[in-house]
Amino acid sequence: MEDQGTLSTAAPEETRAIGQALGSHAQAGAMLALIGPLGAGKTELAKGVAEGLGVTSVVNSPTFVLMNEHVGRLRLFHIDAYRLDDPEEAVAAGLFDDRQAAGVAVVEWADRLAERLPAERLELTLVPEADGSDRRHISWRALGTAHLRLAGDALLEP
């Protein structure tokens, strides 16, 4: 099962608010695959997910450590695949682990790991306006029942 849609934001706070909604509604095992160029707002969205999960620690992009783990209502596994050249490096680095089934995984640069991502996930592609403004277009695609429910609850609420 699959569904998709688009959203737009005009400021980083709005992108973060989408993340907050996702974090608030996320259930154990959720996989959020974030795709977009540098500066697209992936980390801002991830910070919102953390807030929605009740994470109180500082959330930064884990570019150099590859994954940060945060404690909230559910554990947040924040992964950054920017530096990975091969999806097998993610496996070797232990980025995909059975513990994630009990938490929420947010993967920045998920397109670099496409072969290793679970079939069921919520993909969010962030595209900044070409004019350099803070406006973002976010296309989402929900794959699988749990992620369809998450998208419906967090992204389609009135």
Three-class HEC string of the chain: CEEEEEEEECCHHHHHHHHHHHHHHCCCCCEEEEECCCCCCHHHHHHHHHHHCCCCCCCCCCCCCCEEEECCCCCEEEEECCCCCCHHHHHHCCCCCHHHHHCEEEEECHHHHHHHCCCCEEEEEEEECCCCCCCEEEEEEEECHHHHHHHHHHHCCC
Query: Cα–Cα distance between 52 and 58 in angstroms, integer?
Result: 14
- pLDDT at residue 101 in the model: 82
61: its two tokens:
């992009």
Look up tokens 């992204």; give the residue: 155
pLDDT (tens digit, 9 = 90+) per residue, 12-56? Answer: 999 999 999 999 999 999 999 999 999 999 999 999 999 999 999
Query: Cα–Cα distance between 107 and 91 in angstroms, integer?
Result: 14
CA 90 to chain centre: 16
Stretch 55-81: mean pLDDT, rounded? 89
Residue range of the domain that includes 119 = 2-155
- pLDDT at residue 52 in the model: 98
Query: Cα–Cα distance between 143 and 150 in angstroms, integer?
Result: 10
- pLDDT at residue 157 in the model: 65
Query: Cα–Cα distance between 117 and 49 in angstroms, integer?
Result: 19
60/135: higher pLDDT:
135
CATH of the domain at 106: 3.40.50.300
How many domains does one find in the chain?
1
- pLDDT at residue 88 in the model: 73
92: its two tokens:
């070797």
pLDDT (tens digit, 9 = 90+) per residue, 80-106? Answer: 989 777 777 776 666 677 777 889 999
Tell whether pTM > 0.75.
yes
Whether residue 145 has pLDDT greater than 70:
yes
